[in-house]
């Protein structure tokens, strides 16, 4: 019976936009057992992408709300669900996909066994054909790299993405924390991941991060450039978060580096341009590039555009100006969704999940459950 509960949860998570694909050796089920108790796994199967109160979810589970409400609160604190707290209204709970979601919410909670399982699972979880058509993240250049690029759009600039939100929180990088647990620590700054508004509230409420000002967030972005970190916001014009990633720890960048042309898998509006005549072969750009797109050959830098993801880290520190950023041709420009909800829908469609009929079914079922809960006794 216990195995059936975890199998049902795996299928439930795989139906979410980010997916939770099956492996040949049951690794994914072992990860779930490390995270969820059987009771939590059963309840999680009834939590959807539509935010709902404990009373609605309790009705769907078939148990009293007095049992389900504290369990949901604990699960949110453990990073197994997402919770929304507004004013004095009852908290609402929403399903969290594994990545970006449950994995990131294990910040400060991971042990070595869990991290080794996740590390082994990355190659199954990262599906290049899906990422190519509907990436969860995109790459934006550091500000210094686009200083002379005309018509840089607001959603292509970290500062504008930050100022578009009222609340900002910073948290340590879960990927660098994972690699440290595996005995491969990184010397990059740790506290670099930004989340906004509801996401910021969730991180602070569950003691994973702290609120910061817009000015402090911009200082972190500047520090990221200095440290050679790639800026990766959510793939939406109104960003839900901005990650500052290194190629040695980030699960996404490490998997991208395995492919001969990672540029084809990344949503990026820019690419580097090299003036070989101006290059002095100092090698600074080679050290800065997280995708191995640059090399020194016969005393000059050589650029592989198939590996360039347009982060601009090579440009911001080139001493001679031999490297600049240019906008990709119109045919190669990423189609960036307006918000994270549309990003998730596109991702779900790319995976053959949550089509219009399924979304309509979930919405109708949620409406029915809320209506029935409104007619029931408060403690039922």
Task: Tell me the sheet residues that pair with 297.
Answer: 300
3-state SS class at 307: helix
- For 2-121+353-375, CATH gives 1.10.10.10
Q: Given this model, what pLDDT does residue 288 score?
A: 97
Q: Given this model, what pLDDT does residue 181 score?
A: 96
Tokens 């809320």, residue? 370
pLDDT per residue as tens digits for the range 267-312? 999 999 999 999 999 999 999 999 999 999 999 999 999 999 999 9
Q: Which residues of the chain have pLDDT under 70?
A: 1, 375-380
Q: Given this model, what pLDDT does residue 378 score?
A: 59
Q: Given this model, what pLDDT does residue 359 score?
A: 74
Please give the C-alpha separations between residue 251 and each of 22, 189, 258, 263, 288, in angstroms, as whole numbers.
18, 17, 11, 16, 18
Tokens 């647990």, residue? 181
Q: Given this model, what pLDDT does residue 134 score?
A: 92
Q: Given this model, what pLDDT does residue 357 score?
A: 76
Q: What is the mean pLDDT of the chain?
A: 94
Residue 314 CA from chain centroid, whole number? 24
Q: Given this model, what pLDDT does residue 211 score?
A: 98
Query: 10 Å Cβ neighbour count for 240?
Result: 24
* Domain residue ranges in the chain: 2-121+353-375, 128-332
Residue 291 CA from chain centroid, whole number? 19
Q: Given this model, what pLDDT does residue 1 score?
A: 62
Whether residue 288 contacts residue 308, with contact meaning beta carbons closer than 8 Å, is answered with no
- In the structure encoding, which two tokens stand for residue 60, read together? 């769907």
E-assigned strand segments in 24-167: 52-53, 81-84, 92-95, 138-139
């Amino acid at each position: 019976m216990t195995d059936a509960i975890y199998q049902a949860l795996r299928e439930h998570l795989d139906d979410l936009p980010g997916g939770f694909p099956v492996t040949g050796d049951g690794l994914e089920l072992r990860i779930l057992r490390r995270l969820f108790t059987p009771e939590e796994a059963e309840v999680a199967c009834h939590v959807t992408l539509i935010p709902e109160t404990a009373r609605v979810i309790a009705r769907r589970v078939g148990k009293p709300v007095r049992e389900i409400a504290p369990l949901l609160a604990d699960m949110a604190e453990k990073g197994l669900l997402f919770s929304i707290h507004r004013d004095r209204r009852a908290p609402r709970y929403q399903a969290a996909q594994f990545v970006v979601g449950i994995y990131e919410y294990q910040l400060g909670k991971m042990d070595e066994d869990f991290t080794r399982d996740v590390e082994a699972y990355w190659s199954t979880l990262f599906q290049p054909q899906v990422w190519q058509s509907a990436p969860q993240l995109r790459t934006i250049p550091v500000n210094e790299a686009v200083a002379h690029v005309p018509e840089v759009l607001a959603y292509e600039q970290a500062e504008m993405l930050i100022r578009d939100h009222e609340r900002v929180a910073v948290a340590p990088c879960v990927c660098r924390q994972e690699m440290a647990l595996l005995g491969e620590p990184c010397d990059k700054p740790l506290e670099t991941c930004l989340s906004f508004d509801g996401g910021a509230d969730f991180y602070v409420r569950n003691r994973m991060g702290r609120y910061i000002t817009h000015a402090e967030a911009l200082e972190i972005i500047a520090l990221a450039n200095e440290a050679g970190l790639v800026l990766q916001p959510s793939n939406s014009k109104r960003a839900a978060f901005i990650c500052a990633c290194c190629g040695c720890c980030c699960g996404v960048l490490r998997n991208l580096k395995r492919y001969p042309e990672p540029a084809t898998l990344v949503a990026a509006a820019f690419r580097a341009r090299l003036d070989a005549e101006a290059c002095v072969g100092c090698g600074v750009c080679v050290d800065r590039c997280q995708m191995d797109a640059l090399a020194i050959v016969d005393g000059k830098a050589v650029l592989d555009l198939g590996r360039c993801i347009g982060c601009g880290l090579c440009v911001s520190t080139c001493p001679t100006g031999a490297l600049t950023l240019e906008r990709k041709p119109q045919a190669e420009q990423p189609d960036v969704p307006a918000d994270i909800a549309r990003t998730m829908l596109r991702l779900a469609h790319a995976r053959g999940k949550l089509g219009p009929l399924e979304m309509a079914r979930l919405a109708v079922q949620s409406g029915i459950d809320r209506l029935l809960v409104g007619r029931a006794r408060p403690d039922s």
